[in-house]
Amino acid sequence: MAKDTKQMNKALPELSATSTRVQQTQVSRLIQSSAAGNAIVFVMAIIWVALLWGELPTPVLVVWLLAMGVLFVFRAGIHYFDLYKTPRAGIPVDLVRRWYLLAVMFTGAGWGVTSILMFPGNQLEQIVLAFILVGVSASGIMYAHVAWVYYAYVGFVLLPLMLRLFSIGGEVYYALSAMTAFFLGVMMLAVHKMYQSSMAALELSYKNEELIKDLEVLNSSLTEEIEYVKQVETELVEARDHAEKMSQAKGQFLANMSHEIRTPMNGVLGTLQLLETSELTQAQRDYVSTAHKSAEALLSILNDILDLSKIEAGKLGIENINFDLRELIIDIVDLQRHRAEQKKINLLTDIDPQLSSTVVGDPVRIRQLLVNLLSNAVKFTENGEVCLRLKVLEQTGSESVLRIEVDDTGVGIDEITQKKLFTAFTQADGSTTRKYGGTGLGLAIVKQLVHLMRGRLGVDSVPRKGSTFWFEIPVAVASGDIEKPAQQQKPLPALPAGARILLAEDNPVNQLVARKMLEKFGMQVVVVDNGNQALKQLEKESFDIVLMDCQMPELDGLAATRILRDYENQMSRSRTTVIAMTANVMEGDRERCLSAGMDDYLGKPVKLDELEAVICRWLQS
């Protein structure tokens, strides 16, 4: 009994030390991952002050921006000098970390002040502020390593906005206030689950380290060693099972976060599209255009993060289909040509005549590679030219090795920065981030995609003279027909007026946006909140098309579609066209919708022209 008590007392300090180590690791991860977010939030602050300049008292704007700038410089200094890792000037690391966490919360409080002291009277500017605050909150996901810091940060940002919207009153503002509260709750719940899983994984990792040390000590006794090895094997099996569950949880978390962020983004982008088609003054049109571009930029960042996460999780596959690489390159260059002409840059191509007319590969991912590299070259080049060059290095039998280079006469990159350039969230330096923008995800994705294609990549650059980014990949020479991902779109015929559409959507904002879009096309729209209501409505009357969300209460869209198809088969009724309109856009979601009996698929955020094209295609058929 006394021996057991002694062992228990010995284990208590070890448990406390492990917990402290886990917490310190989580704080370090938070600081390390928030460098890019710190810069993005300060850029948003500058944009907001620029939008309000002249409408609010100048001292208020200057003092607020100065305060946000001090917080930005303070946090950037901690990152730049690695003060959270190494003590300097006699300042303890723990004290620096506490200061940093306080600075994060003060940053959130600074944004909360905008809803109290800097809330605009113009409705469009209110929408822009709401969007910026939602973007600031979404970018704060990097603080999830320490849950209470994230709760405080998001609470400081969104609670004043929610209360301000509620205090204004009216159906629209009550709805926006409720959506803000819902978004806040969902984000906090998701972060809570992720934080618990992360803490458990770290504790398990550190416990495994202690077990390895104990194993070395116990090697002196063969019997004890055998017993201990069995124990370790059991724990390793548990650790493996836990790691597999964590991997599944990460995939589910990514899917949920994608859905929950895209749902309000659909409302934002949809509303902005509708506003763009209404009668606006030039100033109002400029505000809407600014908000629309910002929303598209945030969506692009979200897509990049999801792509990188899918690659790291091994869930991104490479297709092999026949396509015309020369035509693909010409299309990509044409897309960038307008931007190059605006900067008075020559945009050139040099394609090896030995290139086969048809190759086998993944045209979508190769397009992603080329767009990333070419858009970067145009962005970082102020004068001169950008050239996309393709060479056939080897051609043996049915396979070729291609080298694709993107040359520019831009700012160039020094040798030290080149070594870390393909790391996520990395750019040339802090000034580049401020001047040119971006998250630093593009080249990290390029590196991962090239490796998935069994290729290699690199960069040759001289500061202030230019850069050459290149990659080499093997491709097979095709012998069949080209499988083009999309044909040249023909002008859409006029939509038949009065077509009946059933919209199954549980989100009130998305209901409003989708209904207004459809009514703009001249459709008659009936709205229901879930799959059960949709089935009941289909029993009462017929519809030309059903637009079905996938995640709904009571009965989701997939289950409702399966029940509808069974009912149609039993009653020998004609097939009703069902189109998925959902925020589930992860790999395999489209296939799951089609296998459930749906006829087509639209991912959120939904664009007006895409919605019109899908409806037109199915009404014509």
- Rounded distance, CA 601 to CA 585, Å? 10
Mean pLDDT over residues 450-455, rounded?
88
Mean pLDDT score, 338-366: 88
Tokens at 382, concatenated: 């102020």
| Helical (H) or strand (E) element with 526 | strand 524-528
> According to the model, what pLDDT value does residue 595 have?
92
CA distances from residue 25 to 15, 146, 159, 201, 253 in whole angstroms, order as listed: 15, 10, 29, 12, 22
Residue 212 pLDDT class (50, 70, 90 cuts): confident
**248-277: average pLDDT:** 72
Q: What are residue 141's phi and psi, to 5 degrees?
A: -60, -25
Residue type at position 551:
Q
Q: What residue ranges in 195-274 does DSSP mark as E strands? A: none
The predicted model gives 184-196 an average pLDDT of 82
Residue 301 pLDDT greater than 50, yes or no: yes
* DSSP string covering 184-202: HHHHHHHHHHHHHHHHHHH
| Residue bearing tokens 């886990």 | 22
pLDDT in tens, 53-67: 878 888 888 888 898
Distance (Å, whole) CA 233 – CA 237:
6
Instruction: Quickly tell me which residue has 């995939």 as its tokens.
Output: 251
pLDDT of residue 485: 45
With 0-12 / 13-18 / 19 or more C-beta atoms within 10 angstroms meaning exposed / middle / buried, residue 141 is buried
The string of pLDDT tens digits covering residues 437-449 is 444 566 777 888 8
pLDDT at 482 over 80: no
DSSP SS3 for 34: coil
Euclidean distance between CA atoms 128 and 293, whole angstroms: 11
Q: Which of 93-102, 261-270, 356-365, 453-462 has the lowest mean pLDDT?
A: 261-270
With tokens 């998701």, the residue in question is: 190
Rounded to an integer, the average pLDDT of 509-517 is 88
The residue type found at 605 is P
CA R_g for the chain: 28
How far apart, in whole angstroms, are the C-alpha atoms of residue 582 and residue 179? Answer: 18
Q: Is the pLDDT of residue 300 over 90?
A: no
Per-residue confidence (pLDDT) for residue 227, from 0 to 100: 80
CA distance 514 to 274: 10
Q: Over the stretch 113-154, which tens digit does the pLDDT of each residue have? A: 888 887 777 777 777 777 788 777 777 777 778 888 888 888
Contact 446, 496 (CB under 8 A): no
193 near 253, Cβ under 8 Å? yes
User: What's the mean per-residue pLDDT of the chain?
Assistant: 80
Q: Would you say residue 486 has pLDDT above 60?
A: no
Distances (CA, A) of 22 to 17, 152, 352, 374: 9, 21, 55, 42
Q: Which residues pair with 56 in a beta bridge?
A: 53
CATH T-level assignment (fold) for domain 500-620 = Rossmann fold (3.40.50)
Q: Name which residue leads in pLDDT, 84 or 358.
A: 358
Whether the CB-CB separation of 336 and 378 falls below 8 Å is answered with: yes
Alpha-carbon distances, residue 577 vs 502, 533, 545, 592 (angstroms) = 10, 17, 5, 16
Residue 96 pLDDT grade (very low, low, confident, very high; cuts 50, 70, 90): confident
- Given this model, what pLDDT does residue 415 score? 82
Q: What is the phi/psi pair of residue 360, to 5°?
A: -110, 125
Q: What is the percentage of the chain residues whose pLDDT exceeds 70?
A: 84
Q: Is the pLDDT reported for residue 426 higher than 70? A: no
> Domain 321-477 in CATH: superfamily?
Histidine kinase-like ATPase, C-terminal domain (3.30.565.10)
Q: Mean pLDDT throughout 452-472?
A: 90
pLDDT at 425 > cutoff 60 = no
Q: What is the pLDDT of residue 430?
A: 46
- Which of residues 491 and 230 earns the better pLDDT score? 230
Better-scored residue on pLDDT, 436 or 571: 571
Of 393, 303, 363, 312, the C-alpha closest to 605 is 303
- Residue 583: predicted pLDDT: 79
Structure-model confidence comparison of residues 492 and 227, the more confident one: 227
* Cα(33)–Cα(320) distance, integer angstroms: 35
d(Cα 99, Cα 92) in Å, to the nearest integer? 11
Give percent of the chain with pLDDT exceeding 90: 15
The tokens 């500017």 sit on which residue?
A: 125
Report whether pLDDT(544) > 60.
yes
Locus of tokens 């989100």: 507
Question: Which strand (E) or helix (H) includes residue 598?
Answer: none
**Whole-structure pTM over 0.85, yes or no?**
no
Asked if residue 289 has pLDDT above 70, the reply is yes
Taking the CB of residue 159, how many other CB atoms lie within 10 A of it? 16
The confidence score (pLDDT) of residue 122 equals 78
DSSP assignment letter at 218: G
**Which residue did the predictor score with more confidence, 35 or 461?**
461
Tokens of 165: 């919207």
pLDDT higher at 426 or 419: 419
What's the average model confidence in pLDDT over 302-306?
68
Strand runs labelled E in 397-499: 399-408, 456-462, 466-477
Choice between 474 and 291, residue whose per-residue pLDDT is larger: 474
More confident site: 146 or 352: 352
Rounded Cα gap, residues 190 and 609, in angstroms: 33
The length of the chain in residues reads 621
Q: Is the pLDDT of residue 218 over 70?
A: no
pLDDT at 488 over 50: no
**91 vs 73, higher pLDDT:** 73
Written as six digits, the tokens of 139 are 């970018």
How is the chain split into domains, by residue range?
14-312, 321-477, 500-620
- How high is the pLDDT of residue 472? 93
Tokens of residue 44, six digits? 């948003």
